[in-house]
Amino acid sequence: MEADTGPHDSGADFRSGARACLPALPTLFFIFAGFGVAAREGGVPAEAALLMTALVYAAPAQYAMLDAAGAGASALSAVMVGVTANLRFFVMSLTLRGMFRHAPRRATARWAHFVAATPFLLTFFRSRREKPGDLFAFYRGVSVVMIPPIFLGTVAGWWAGGGLPPALAFGGTLFMPVYFSLLIASDFKGGREAAAVIAGFLLTPPLETLAPGWGLLGAGLVTGGALAVRER
């Protein structure tokens, strides 16, 4: 993994990050639309669902919090569930900080809230190239572009949630494991996108049964890890 230590065209790298994120925007929209649906089905007001998206900024943790609240947990317990689910971002943040060595700490701290799977993975993949460029600018480009669809998706899902059949509402939650499986698979030769899609759909239900709130993320990680091992 290469650290970003030299001078680069930050504007060009920012735009490169924005372009790299564009193919992910429809899927991000539907992932958070699925959350909006689940929030409305759980009796969460629209403004509270938007606040969860803004503050938690991670669909798996948001689903986990909804599950905890639906099971009768207190507000504090639900928040702690979300915090625990988001601890994975601590490791991602440490990795990114190692790649952003040239960037001032205050600047990276301001952008730390936007650490999520998509900007982390796309920036990490960029770092594997021979000339990765200004990785901090690339990360910011990814982060800025992905903000609108997640909020629009939350609103659209909440608005449509009351009229969706339960099967269709649950199907919306399956975008996440498929998306992350494809995102991870895209960095390996031969991709095996079809296998990632099938694995995502097959693994999510049993993993969600074994670990409520973690099935979606677990399916993506298991599938991506299996692809990584196979490609070696």
- Residue 212 CB: number of other CB atoms within 10 A? 14
pLDDT score of 143: 95
pLDDT score of 81: 84
Q: What is the pTM of this model?
A: 0.71
Cβ pair 121, 89 in contact under 8 A: no
pLDDT score of 219: 73
pLDDT score of 87: 84
232 residues of the chain, pLDDT tens digit each: 555 545 566 889 999 999 999 888 888 888 898 889 888 888 889 999 999 999 999 888 888 888 888 888 888 888 888 888 888 888 889 889 889 988 998 999 999 999 988 899 889 888 887 678 899 999 999 999 999 999 999 999 898 876 655 555 555 555 665 666 556 655 555 545 556 666 766 777 787 777 776 776 677 677 767 766 665 5
Cβ pair 153, 32 in contact under 8 A: yes
Cβ pair 49, 158 in contact under 8 A: yes
